[in-house]
Chains A and B, each alone.
Chain A
C-alpha cells in the first residue's frame, strides 16, 4: 500500500468519511432485506445501497484517484450513471412479476386488476 501514504490529510479525511458512510448505508439496506416482513416492503431495501451507497463510494474513489494520480477523467461516473438508470427498471419488473404471481395464486392480499382496492389510510379522491 505504498501509494496511499502519498494522500494528504485534507483528502484522506473526506475519503474515509465517504467510504464509511456509504458502506454503512449499504449495510442498513441489506439488513432491511432481512428484517422487513413482506416482499413488497423488501422491494424498497436494495434501493438504499443502489442510490446512496453507490454515489458515496464512487465519490470517495474519484477523490482518492484525483488527488493521488492527478487524473481528472472520472470513469466512476459511468458506474453511477449505469446503476442509477438500471436499478429502477429491475425493481419495477420484479414488482410487476410478484404482483402477477400473487394475483394468480390469490393467497396474498394484493389489489385486483380491475378495480384497485383503496387502502384504509392512503385513499385517493378518484
Chain B
C-alpha cells in the first residue's frame, strides 16, 4: 500500500487543485485528477524529502489562528511605520536569535511564518550554531522579539513535531 501510494496527502492535494482549476466535480475529472496526483507523488519519491510525523495534529488549528491574528496586527503596525512622518526615521535592525528547533520541516514552516509576517524577515540560519538572523522593521517596540518568537511560534512547533 505504501509502495503504490507514497504520499497520500500530496496526491489528494494535487487532485483538489486539479478540480479547482477545472471548476467541475464530474467523475471524469475526479478520475483524471486522481491519476495525476498519484503519478506525481511517485516523482516526489526521487527527491527524498525528510519525513516527519505530526504528533498532535489538533494543535495545527491553534497555530494557524495565532498566525492569522499576528499577520493582521503586524500589517497594521507596518502601515503605521510607512505612513509616519519623515522626521521620525524608521528604526530597523538585525536580531540574532538562538533556536532549539531541530526538525527541518518545522524550521521551514517557521521561516514561512516569520517572512509572511510583514514586520519581520528571515535572513539566514546557521545549522551548526543554530543561530537565526532576523531583520525587524520596528525595533523600538521589538526589544522582546527573541522571547516572543520563542514562546509564540517555536514552542507550539516543537510540541507539534518533536
Direct contact, A vs B (beta carbon within 8 Å): yes
CB neighbours of A20 from chain B (8 A):
none
CB neighbours of B79 from chain A (8 A):
25, 28, 48
Q: A48-B79, A116-B94, A124-B146 are in contact. Are A40 and B135 (CB under 8 A)?
A: yes
- Report the Cα distance A84→B67, complex, angstroms: 12
Q: What 0/1 pattern do residues 98 to 121 of A give for CB contact below 8 A with B? A: 010000000000110000111111
By beta carbon, the residue of chain A nearest B123 is A95
What band does the interface of chain B fall in when counting residues whose beta carbon is under 8 Å from A? 35 or more
Q: A78-B17, A111-B133 are in contact. Are A124 and B98 (CB under 8 A)?
A: yes
Task: Among B20, B117, B122, B124, point to the contact of A78 (Cβ < 8 A).
Answer: B20
Q: Tell me if A119 and B118 are in contact (CB < 8 A).
A: no
What band does the interface of chain A fall in when counting residues whose beta carbon is under 8 Å from B? 35 or more
Q: What 0/1 pattern do residues 27 to 71 of A give for CB contact below 8 A with B? A: 011011001111011011101100110000000000000000001
Q: Tell me if B122 and A95 are in contact (CB < 8 A).
A: yes
Q: Tell me if A116 and B96 are in contact (CB < 8 A).
A: yes
Q: Tell me if B115 and A91 are in contact (CB < 8 A).
A: yes
Task: Among B90, B98, B111, point to the contact of A41 (Cβ < 8 A).
Answer: B90
By beta carbon, the residue of chain B nearest A34 is B82
Q: Tell me if A84 and B116 are in contact (CB < 8 A).
A: yes
Q: Min CB distance, B68 to chain A, in Å?
A: 10
- Report the Cα distance A119→B92, complex, angstroms: 10
- Report the Cα distance A73→B26, complex, angstroms: 13
Task: Among A32, A88, A122, A125, point to the contact of B95 (Cβ < 8 A).
Answer: A122
